Structure 1
């Protein structure tokens, strides 16, 4: 089981760290790219829900990496441990069919990394760390859980050989289960908490979401909205819910807020906004400068180095952002 979380001052907002993948989601039909990636999106939505949030990861020194960094700073998500290295930022290509996103390809770019012992030890200062199947840290979940609470997004990868062994380490286990009927999703959640997770969540698209702690069950209907782009809706739900559960809020109210955040994420393109023109050179173009990103707020914090990765955990095959 995860180590006890650090105790902050009474009334202080929860401290939520997203760590792992980042991408730009490329929309060729729109001529735009948007910042994203599971760990980035969850950190942004936890911040919007009132948490103190930061992101750790590796971005490229191209225009795409700059788009990710500027958007995080504009959202007030800490970037002090974001490392920028020479090479292309990770990307995923997205198409839209009736408002639903379809992934057409992806590349990890320079995003793969792992945590060394010194980095792991700094995690004790966070109330919860969120990562996902789409990053490179699944193999380090037990090490992270020895320092603080861990949230992990499995998407639909719960049958992978490495997946079940993570359950006992988790504060929140999140699954994308729109392809499952209610009984099958319930069995998945029941097994997950029986194996040690504190909370287990299944998001089921238009069928809503289910959350359990093993004793009680909460069902949340999907909020009604006119969907322009469903990309990022699941991450918006998870980030909003995670901030509330970490703060000790009532699960029913937490789920309602998460559903509203997910619905709002469907009303515009990209995971959380900040579209920028696609570079004519392609996804690996290096284009220094700061123009072209539409931001809601100004930068909050400068980027600094993340020490070099020490090792790599199991990496299930995926396009970045699948089922986000």
Structure 2
């Protein structure tokens, strides 16, 4: 992902850019439990193994960007427990700047991942120290956020901190990439700062439902409602979000690939066909790679094409951060 000829930050920010990507988000330990299949409600199954991995949507995306060569910093928090070392291990190995990472009393965030033989997973997240990433913590990191080309956000920290980080980034002329995961109701003003807003098929359906309930029907072409199951349906949902004033939108569709829309038009990408071992963190691999490519000056569609390859690389390996490619690894 080399920088295109002639590309540079705006003159006003040229001397202030220190990082390509600054991530404001969550840092967890993932406890991954393997099972032959997911249990039914009330059912007890014997698992195959249980392992601890570094995780958290924010940290996952930071590692994905940094492994691809983006100069990356992380704003977040870990606890005072032994799990903090595990949570920070891959960030440190990828040379992510941790000067804005707080240590707070109590446990580090925890995600319990149940991984079935078919590669699909279920995840339960306990926020732990991530709940301490407040607007005040984000405000204290203003210089870090303002020193980036891209501010990358998700929704596993308090939503007030997400909105504050987006506002700081916009005020500092930093491009905001917002991954609305898990799905949540953010102010429309915050959504309109995203360029792009990245959602999967389930998140886009929930978001459009909330927006219509709050603000009335979108002036965009009608969509059928529910979760989009095709590229055409996902593009219709993306158009609806654009009609609400969102600058650009990327909708990821798992095994079906991704679609997007922005100032340069619409596009769709098929998924790469690879053997699937573990889908944990694949969406974060996509988003982190997307941010890294955008920071290098690539157009949105080209950045998404790279991100699709990075996600396909990751699903062939166990775990989230440990499965992400390094800059020189060949992509599918």
Q: Which has the higher contact order (CA 8 A, sep 6+)?
A: 1
The structure 2 residue matched to 1:209, chosen from 258, 268, 276, is 258
Structure 1 residue 149, shift from structure 2 partner: 2.0
Partner of 1:245: 294
Call closer, same or farther: CA 1:176–1:87 in 2, change over 3 Å. Answer: same
Q: What is the RMSD computed on CA atoms of the aligned residues?
A: 2.6
Partner of 1:173: 197
In structure 2, the residue corresponding to 1:273 is in which secondary structure? helix
Partner of 1:132: 154
- In 1: Cα distance, 2:57 partner to 2:185 partner: 21
Alpha-carbon contact 2:81-2:108 (below 8 Å) kept: yes
* 1:149 corresponds to 2:171: no
Cα distance per residue 1:160-184 (max 9 Å; x no partner): 5435332221122000116423344
- Matched residue count: 268
In structure 2, the residue corresponding to 1:257 is in which secondary structure? helix
Call closer, same or farther: CA 1:6–1:32 in 2, change over 3 Å. Answer: farther
Structure 1 residue 16, shift from structure 2 partner: 0.1
* 1:268 corresponds to 2:317: yes
Partner of 1:305: none
The structure 2 residue matched to 1:114, chosen from 134, 141, 144, is 134
In structure 2, the residue corresponding to 1:81 is in which secondary structure? strand
Alpha-carbon contact 2:146-2:168 (below 8 Å) kept: no
* 1:257 corresponds to 2:279: no
- In 2: Cα distance, 1:208 partner to 1:67 partner: 31
Cα distance per residue 1:141-172 (max 9 Å; x no partner): 33442222211111362xx5435332221122
The structure 1 residue matched to 2:22, chosen from 17, 22, 45, is 17
Call closer, same or farther: CA 1:5–1:173 in 2, change over 3 Å. Answer: farther
Call closer, same or farther: CA 1:58–1:5 in 2, change over 3 Å. Answer: farther
Structure 1 residue 272, shift from structure 2 partner: 1.6
TM-score normalized by structure 2? 0.73
* 1:73 corresponds to 2:92: yes
- In 1: Cα distance, 2:120 partner to 2:187 partner: 27
User: Which range moves more in the overlay, 65-74 or 248-257?
Assistant: 248-257
The structure 1 residue matched to 2:122, chosen from 99, 102, 106, is 102
- In 1: Cα distance, 2:275 partner to 2:113 partner: 19
In structure 2, the residue corresponding to 1:193 is in which secondary structure? helix
In structure 1, the residue corresponding to 2:272 is in which secondary structure? coil
Structure 1 residue 218, shift from structure 2 partner: 1.6
- In 2: Cα distance, 1:251 partner to 1:57 partner: 27
List alignment gaps of at least 5 residues for structure 1: 275-295, 297-324
List alignment gaps of at least 5 residues for structure 2: 1-9, 35-48, 203-226, 327-332
TM-score normalized by structure 1? 0.75
Call closer, same or farther: CA 1:36–1:6 in 2, change over 3 Å. Answer: farther
Call closer, same or farther: CA 1:22–1:171 in 2, change over 3 Å. Answer: same
* 1:63 corresponds to 2:78: no
In structure 1, the residue corresponding to 2:98 is in which secondary structure? coil
* 1:26 corresponds to 2:31: yes
Alignment of 1:167-316 (within 5 A): 167-177=191-201, 179-181=227-229, 182-273=231-322
Cα distance per residue 1:8-54 (max 9 Å; x no partner): 47xx9961011121111102442211111111111111112221101
Call closer, same or farther: CA 1:161–1:236 in 2, change over 3 Å. Answer: closer
